[in-house]
Amino acid sequence: MANMMKAAVYHALDDVRIEERPVPEIGPGEMLLKTLACGLCGGETMAWYKSEPKVLGHEPVGEVVGLGAGVSEFKIGDRVFVNHHVGRTNSHLSLRGHPTRDPFYRRMKLDPGGVCDYYRVSAQHLAMDAHVLPDSISTEAAVTVEPWSCVLSGLKVCHIQPGDTVAVVGAGFMGQGFVHLAPLFGAGKVIALDFSDWRLARAREFGATHTINPRTENPVEMMRTLNSGRLADTVIVTAPFPSAWEQALLLVEVGGCLHLGAPLPPGTDWVLDGNRAYFDHVTVTSRYSSDHTDTYSYIRLLEAGRIMADQAISHRFDMKDSAEAFRMLVEAENSLKVVIYPGGIPAEYSEVT
């Protein structure tokens, strides 16, 4: 194996470069994976969220090519998913059910990232959140494990009761995940809202029973029309804009839940009507990222055929075209999950990419 490798490195929103990086060295209890495919996440377009420069990608699927001393549960050639962040079990926040908010979680990362030829996973990663993928799960489907495990994690705190009406504000890739997985938590009607008719059409494919385009329809009036005069029991907002959060709150029925599915930039005010906040009994929830229990559950759902993950892949790129792939992610028009293949796009996808 060569000592150097290619990596797609983020320097700015309009500056993604292919650079040479050393192949990571592994120590005892660690593994080296060859990247088979890696998804790009909308969070990577939030300039305030990352330091720079940084190797793109935290949604990789890899093949084991190197084993450190003491690693016995994996073998060379295994196709593996490893979560990019992993927690610990014995901290105050973890013991109280918030492992992803433990500072330790953010410090644990894949080395150096996902959009590169090879990456190192630590012993803590292997101990907490590493999974050999069954043959029934395609590599492309496995690219969705990290992001849609975050969806599953969020749905766990939404207090959905059987038959509830769930509205999803923002039908990008993460919004599609909430639309698609909400019925697994008991949702009855699932209503997607977005300014893009293309994304709304995709939401219907992923299980939305109804759609609303706020550009041409009054969301509150349409919600009541579609839902027997009531607003939604649970509203999930994935669009990271104050206006979207304000719209989402207007769609929540008394006693319902508003779930914040994406953060606003630091320092952004979100002002509530204090009178309504008291009387409406609306629960506001959020859930940052996913933990090892979420990824385990999601992989089991994938294996059971409950999730149409492959259909969420809209575009594929060779690593040399990472700048174009990132531009598509930033523009967020007619695309959902963008996947980069460091070893080149597989032949079976060449005609559909």
- pLDDT tens-digit series, residues 149-180: 999 999 999 999 999 999 999 999 999 999 99
Q: What gap in Å lies between CA 282 and CA 276, rounded to an integer?
A: 9
CATH number of residue 217's parent domain: 3.40.50.720
User: pLDDT 10s digit of each residue in the chain, 353 long?
Assistant: 789 999 999 999 899 999 999 999 999 999 999 999 999 998 888 777 666 799 999 999 999 999 999 999 999 999 999 999 999 999 999 999 999 999 999 999 999 999 999 999 999 999 999 999 999 999 999 999 999 999 999 999 999 999 999 999 999 999 999 999 999 999 999 999 999 999 999 999 999 999 999 999 999 999 999 999 999 999 999 999 999 999 999 999 999 999 999 999 999 999 999 999 999 999 999 999 999 999 999 999 999 999 999 999 999 999 999 999 999 998 888 999 999 999 999 988 875 55
| Domain assignment present for 152 | no
Cβ atoms of residues 206 and 180 within 8 Å:
yes
Provide the sign of the torsion angle of the four alpha carbons 128, 133, 139, 143, taken in this order: negative
Domain boundary among 257, 286, 315: 286
| Domain assignment present for 153 | no
pLDDT of residue 47: 75
Cβ atoms of residues 141 and 180 within 8 Å:
no
| Residue 332 Cα distances to 38, 50, 172, 175, 327, angstroms | 18, 19, 8, 13, 9
pLDDT of residue 352: 58
pLDDT of residue 332: 83
Question: Is 12 in the same domain as 142?
Answer: yes
Q: What gap in Å lies between CA 209 and CA 179, rounded to an integer?
A: 9
Question: Is 231 in the same domain as 307?
Answer: no
| Residue 214 Cα distances to 12, 45, 60, 256, angstroms | 32, 24, 35, 21
**Total domains in the fold of the chain:** 2
The pLDDT tens digits of the residues spanning 299-327 come to: 999 999 999 999 999 999 999 999 999 99
Question: Is 108 in the same domain as 67?
Answer: yes
Coil, helix or strand for 13? coil
Question: Is 15 in the same domain as 139?
Answer: yes
344: part of which helix (H) or strand (E)?
none
Question: Is 133 in the same domain as 202?
Answer: no
pLDDT of residue 128: 97
Q: What gap in Å lies between CA 238 and CA 231, rounded to an integer?
A: 18
Domain boundary among 286, 305, 321: 286
The pLDDT tens digits of the residues spanning 8-23 come to: 999 998 999 999 999 9
Question: Is 222 in the same domain as 335?
Answer: no
Question: Is 29 in the same domain as 45?
Answer: yes
CA-wise closest residue to 142 among 81, 184, 77: 81
Count other Cβ atoms within 10 Å, centred on residue 268.
Answer: 11
Interacting residues of 135 by C-beta distance below 8 A, sequence separation 6+: none
pLDDT of residue 351: 59
Coil, helix or strand for 124? helix
Question: Is 208 in the same domain as 86?
Answer: no
Q: Which domain holds residue 248?
A: 158-286
Cβ atoms of residues 329 and 40 within 8 Å:
yes
Q: Where are the beta strands (DSSP E) in 190-270?
A: 190-193, 210-212, 232-237, 252-260
Residue 90, burial from CB neighbour count under 10 angstroms (0-12, 13-18, 19+): exposed
57: left (phi over 0), alpha (psi -120 to 50) or beta: left
Question: Is 243 in the same domain as 313?
Answer: no
